[in-house]
Structure formats: C-alpha cells, structure tokens
Amino acid sequence: MVEAGLAACVNILSPCRSVYRWQGNMQVDAEIPLLIKTSADRFPDLQAWIRQQHPYELPELVAVNIADGLPPYLDWIAQSTLTERSSG
C-alpha cells in the first residue's frame, strides 16, 4: 500500500481474536488489524486494492475523518499519497 502510494503509513497491530456472526454462524478468528493513513482522495483506490488483496469476502474497512491534526503531519500524508506521484 505504501509502495503503491495508496497509503502514507501502515501500522500493523498485534494479533487479536475477533468474535463475530457471519452468514448466520458464530466465528472466532485470529486477525491482525491495520491502521492505514491515507488521504480522502486516495481512499477509493485503497479500498479497491484491499478488496482485491484481502482473503475475506467482506473485509472490515472503515474510514475515520480527521477533524484536526498536526498540519505538517497531515501535509505529509497528502504528499505521500499524491495521485500523480503514484501513477508515474
């Protein structure tokens, strides 16, 4: 994701146990959550990439809007995920 310019940074968190209902059955699975920093402009491309790569039929993929942040950090995310940079 980072190499493709879809994300500025990916945090790979500790494995966790997820308990959920899927297609009427209880599931308990080991999963590794990711925190992916990208821009709103790149989210659709990131979403498509994850859907293609992820083994789940329906991966958890949610976006959290940034209300505020350190301006230089937010600029870094924007610069790291520029569409022109990624496609060139």
Distance CA 6, CA 42 (A): 6
Per DSSP, the three-state class of 77 is helix
User: Is residue 84's pLDDT more than 70?
Assistant: no
Flag whether 23 is in a domain. no
- CATH code for the domain in which residue 83 is found: 3.30.70.120
User: Is residue 85's pLDDT more than 60?
Assistant: no
Flag whether 8 is in a domain. no
| Domain enclosing residue 66, as ranges | 35-87
C-beta of residue 1 within 8 angstroms of C-beta of residue 54: no
Number of domains the chain contains: 1
In the prediction, which pLDDT does 83 show?
A: 75
CA dihedral over 52, 53, 57, 60, signed as positive or negative: negative
Flag whether 53 is in a domain. yes
Flag whether 51 is in a domain. yes
Q: Choose among 32, 85, 37: nearest CA to 59.
A: 32
- Compute CA 63 distance to the chain's CA centroid, rounded to the nearest angstrom: 8
Flag whether 13 is in a domain. no
Flag whether 40 is in a domain. yes
User: Is residue 88's pLDDT more than 60?
Assistant: no
The pTM of the whole model exceeds 0.75? yes
Flag whether 5 is in a domain. no
Flag whether 41 is in a domain. yes
Q: What is the mean pLDDT of residues 8-36?
A: 97
pLDDT tens sequence across 36-82: 999 999 999 999 999 999 999 999 999 999 999 999 999 999 999 99
